[in-house]
Amino acid sequence: MLLVLTALLALSGSAFSIPLDNHERNLTAHIKNYLTVNSPSPGMYNNSVYCIVDLYQILSVEEKNNILNAKLWAYCYYVIHEMQWDPKDYGGISTLIFQKNTFWQPDVEVNSMTGHEYQSSTSQYVKYDGTVFPLATSLSAKLSCKFDVTDFPHDQHTCILQFRQWMSTADEYRMVFPRKTTDGKFEMLLEYYISHDQWDLIPPVVMEPGYATFKGNRFDQHNYKIRIRRSPDYFMRILVYPTLLIYAISALPFYLPFESGEKISLSITILLAQVVNLLVLSESIPASSVNFPVFGKYVLLNIIFVGFTVFVSVFTLNMYHKNNSCVPPGFLRKLLYTRFAWIFGTIELSDSSNAIKNVEKIKSDTENSNPKNDELLNKVVEVEKIICGPVIAHEKIKQEWQLIALVIDRSCGFVYIIVGIAVFFLYNPLQLSA
């Protein structure tokens, strides 16, 4: 408001004065011949009221409530050419100040607000060229917006600042916004706009003329489109980058040794970390089932994938510690042990029949040297087979289960990484194309 008053002072060419002397009394009487109190003046040029709106600052954005808090400067004026005077004829007076509500002011309202706070000027001004400034105000407005957070944290939103006639119709006066650019659009100049640290204003702020009808009456209704874009750096650092790092760490349980005993606990810890990320995201966006952010879907998929690692860890640990009396199914032994074990660098089964082979070797070595011991050696071999046979078989079964568990674990880890990379490029949480 102070800026508006300063501009008026600069335009006036002389200081404002309160009517006291004869020149001022005569000029006041002259002005009141053309100004009315309760209705538009008959001599108003083009029967039009000119309104100028400047966006001063975006105060805050309440995304969960779909509200944009902004500070605006607005003032209206109209022109009565018959009321013009020559300052030389009135002692150099070029501008007069009157108390508020001395003469008619247009009933222009902001129709798209959920709340507001006015700081109106306490005076009205009349200039020598017939321009009347009946209304100047500083407005802190809560604009109702519809936020689409699909591209969070790279989202853009459009809020409508709607000015309209409240009680007067378009037949009584027309509401006009005089600021027109070279391409014919009505725009805010944004000369005094103060930038916001989290939201960027996307120029231009264009006004679209229009009207509304009610019970056969027409009312001028003009909409300013205020487009804002989120500055993503904050959420990229506290939410997006940590989510990607946690997902990269979530592949480690597949390569953690079974003997460590930490595979399941590591997977559950990573799962809880992803759930916390989703909770942080839910605090920053509106509760909507229609416009759920793509990044939120990516976090949900990560939670599902990490849950998959918990399932695989339990499954392979159970297989790794399988009862030795349970022989692996033939399809597992054939599919995994013979075809895939070498791909992931798994170990080969050790030959557990070394004891019997050693006895056989002793027998073959001693047959020629001492034939009398053949019967004794044969008995030793038979006893060794009877004693060591079950132990050797159980050890071989155990190693087969361990190898199968290792191959399944490494195979799932490989698939997990490939699917994770594919999902990353599908949902593009870093907005690489942008």
pLDDT tens digits, 208-226: 888 888 888 888 888 888 8
Q: Write the pLDDT tens digit of every residue in 322-337.
A: 766 676 776 666 666 5
Count of Cβ atoms closer than 10 Å to residue 246 Cβ: 19
Averaged pLDDT for residues 79-93: 87
Q: What percent of the chain is modeled with pLDDT above 70?
A: 74
Contact between 193 and 204 (Cβ < 8 Å): no
Averaged pLDDT for residues 148-169: 85
Q: CA nearest 306: which of 244, 239, 238, 251?
A: 251
Q: Rounded to an integer, what distance in angstroms lies between the CA atom of residue 163 and that of residue 50?
A: 12
pLDDT tier at 3, thresholds 50, 70, 90:
very low
Count of Cβ atoms closer than 10 Å to residue 60 Cβ: 14
Amino acid sitting at position 334:
K
Q: Rounded to an integer, what distance in angstroms lies between the CA atom of residue 398 and that of residue 392?
A: 10
pLDDT value at 368 more than 70: no
Averaged pLDDT for residues 63-69: 85
Q: Which residue has the higher pLDDT, 201 or 35?
A: 201
- Average pLDDT of the residues of the chain: 77
Q: Which residue has the higher pLDDT, 30 or 9?
A: 30
For residue 79, what are its two tokens? 């022109």
